[in-house]
């Protein structure tokens, strides 16, 4: 009986208790309602760097690369056969020599013997000519003269053979490699060394069709001043060095392997010390170099960093209201570091040079700095 009365009281009081608590909470919220105010949250705007662009007249830099080769390189070979009697110290790999230096000598004994015989033949022919003249017979005189002149020619040839036993340098140059030694028997025309001239060096530079179209290709009538300038550079012992040259010719053929065409850069006196940079190394054969060719002059062109380009042919700009604008552009040439544009941008446009993950035309941005 008591349990029934207790449960009845609980069932009656529980709803009333809940209602009382609800009234108290509502009253407290009403009293404290004026103590809370909504918090405003500012939107986080993307921060970007910009560069202000202006059209200008630009000589487009065309970049390529290649390997230095000598303009003149030959396989040195004797014009007579025989045993090597002397080899100059200058006929060693990497050694420099001057035009006319004797590089090696062949035993001249047999060739000097031929000179002696030729002189005897000349003396005999001269005597025969004297006898013919004393007789006065024109036919005999003519025959004696022919014989005499033939023996003189033979003597001169024998002397030339002796001279050829001393092999001289045909130009100022350096030895690339050798295959000769004292006592070695060498044959006529058999190469014994490779040498190359030091007056000029060349570099074959591969170019695409677009790059080739931006270069003033030299012709037979092109003067030295009109030939495009080129700067060659290489890293040596951790430091960058450069050499100035000219684009001297165009190879009128296409490499079937890569479908590229080649121009040839030429550098005069590649082994000469640079007075302004005495530590600059020599531009030796086989050195890998990068090149920057002065291309054609383009007017009213805007240059922007490649990082400013998006999706191939669009750039992002910021207007006066700091809103992002997407602009389509026409690209004249895509360089190594720069992109050259002739349509789509105007003077003093503010081009964004900061990468953005999300881009919406018209969205607001915050300019955090400028790039030169």
The number of angstroms, rounded, from the C-alpha of 344 to the middle of its chain's C-alpha atoms is 32
Q: Are residues 206 and 290 in the same domain?
A: yes
For the sheet containing 96-97, what is the strand order?
Answer: 73-76, 193-197, 173-178, 96-97
User: Which residue in 93, 80, 95, 94 sits closest to 167, CA to CA?
Assistant: 80
CA distance 144 to 130: 8
Q: What is the pLDDT of residue 8?
A: 45
Please tell me what DSSP assigns to residue 117. Answer: H
Range of the domain at 354: 47-61+299-370
Q: Are residues 364 and 267 in the same domain?
A: no
Evaluate whether residue 341 is within a structural domain: yes
- Which CATH number fits the domain that encloses residue 211? 2.40.30.170
Q: What is the pLDDT of residue 372?
A: 64
CB 205 within 8 A of CB 262: yes
CA distance 40 to 48: 24
Q: What is the pLDDT of residue 370?
A: 80
CB 291 within 8 A of CB 64: yes
For Cα atoms 90, 271, 203, give the angle at the middle one, nearest 5 degrees: 115
Q: Are residues 225 and 140 in the same domain?
A: no
Q: What is the pLDDT of residue 10?
A: 52
Rg, C-alpha atoms of the chain? 44
Q: Are residues 204 and 66 in the same domain?
A: yes
CA distance 351 to 364: 14
User: CA–CA distance from 310 to each of 48, 118, 211, 227, 306 (Å)?
Assistant: 15, 84, 22, 36, 9
Evaluate whether residue 24 is within a structural domain: no
Q: What is the pLDDT of residue 114?
A: 96
Q: Are residues 286 and 230 in the same domain?
A: yes
Give the chain's domain count.
4
For Cα atoms 323, 326, 331, give the angle at the middle one, nearest 5 degrees: 140
Q: What are phi and psi of 25, to 5 degrees?
A: -65, -45
Residue 24: count of CB within 10 angstroms of its CB: 10
- Which CATH number fits the domain that encloses residue 324? 2.40.420.20
CB 205 within 8 A of CB 66: yes
Q: What residue ranges of the chain have pLDDT lower than 70?
A: 1-22, 25-43, 372
Evaluate whether residue 29 is within a structural domain: no
Q: Are residues 66 and 212 in the same domain?
A: yes
- Which CATH number fits the domain that encloses residue 191? 2.40.50.100
Evaluate whether residue 7 is within a structural domain: no
Give the pTM: 0.73
Q: What are phi and psi of 188, to 5 degrees?
A: -60, 125
Q: CB neighbours of 367 closer than 8 A, spacing ≥ 6? A: 47, 48, 49, 50, 318, 322, 350
List 338's β-bridge partners, or say none. 305
- Which CATH number fits the domain that encloses residue 126? 1.10.287
Q: Are residues 134 and 177 in the same domain?
A: no
Q: Which of 294, 316, 334 is the last residue of a domain?
A: 294
User: Which residue in 345, 359, 347 sits closest to 311, CA to CA?
Assistant: 359
Q: Are residues 151 and 288 in the same domain?
A: no
List 331's β-bridge partners, or say none. 341
Evaluate whether residue 9 is within a structural domain: no
Give per-residue pLDDT as tens, 294-316.
Answer: 998 889 999 999 999 988 899 99
Evaluate whether residue 263 is within a structural domain: yes
b/e sequence 51-89, b meaning 16+ C-beta within 10 Å? bebeeeebebbbebebebebbeebebebebbbebeebbe
């Amino acid at each position: 009986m008591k349990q029934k009365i207790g449960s009845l009281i609980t069932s009656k009081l529980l709803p009333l208790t809940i209602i009382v608590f609800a009234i108290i909470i509502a009253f407290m919220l009403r009293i404290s309602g004026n103590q809370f105010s909504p918090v405003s949250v500012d939107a986080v705007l993307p921060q970007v760097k910009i560069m202000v662009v202006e059209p200008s007249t630009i000589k487009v830099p065309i970049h390529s690369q290649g390997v230095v080769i000598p303009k003149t390189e030959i396989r040195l070979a004797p014009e007579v056969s025989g045993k090597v009697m002397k080899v100059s110290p200058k006929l060693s790999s990497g050694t420099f020599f001057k035009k006319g230096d004797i590089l090696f000598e062949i035993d001249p004994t047999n060739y000097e013997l031929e000179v002696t015989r030729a002189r005897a033949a000349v003396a005999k022919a001269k005597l025969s000519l004297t006898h013919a003249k004393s007789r006065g017979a024109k036919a005999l005189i003519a025959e004696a003269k022919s014989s005499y002149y033939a023996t003189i020619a033979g003597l001169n040839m024998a002397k030339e053979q002796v001279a050829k036993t001393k092999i001289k340098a045909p130009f100022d140059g350096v030895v690339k490699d050798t295959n000769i030694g004292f006592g070695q028997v060498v044959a006529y025309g058999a190469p014994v060394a490779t040498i190359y001239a030091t007056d000029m060096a060349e570099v074959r530079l591969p170019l695409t069709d677009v790059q080739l179209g931006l270069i003033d290709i030299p012709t037979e009538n092109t003067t030295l001043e009109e030939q495009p300038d080129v700067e060659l550079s290489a890293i040596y012992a951790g430091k960058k060095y450069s050499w100035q040259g000219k684009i001297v010719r165009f190879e009128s053929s296409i490499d079937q392997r890569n479908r590229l065409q080649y121009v040839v850069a030429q550098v005069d006196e590649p082994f000469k010390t640079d007075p302004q940079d005495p530590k600059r190394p020599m531009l030796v054969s086989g050195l890998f170099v990068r090149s920057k060719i002065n291309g054609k002059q383009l007017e009213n062109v805007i240059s922007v960093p490649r990082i400013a380009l998006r999706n191939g042919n669009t750039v992002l700009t910021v207007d006066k209201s700091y809103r992002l604008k997407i602009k389509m552009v026409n690209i004249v040439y895509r360089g190594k570091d720069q992109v050259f544009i002739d349509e789509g941008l105007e003077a003093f446009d503010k081009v964004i040079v900061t990468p953005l993950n999300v881009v919406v035309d018209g969205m607001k941005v915050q300019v955090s700095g400028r790039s030169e």
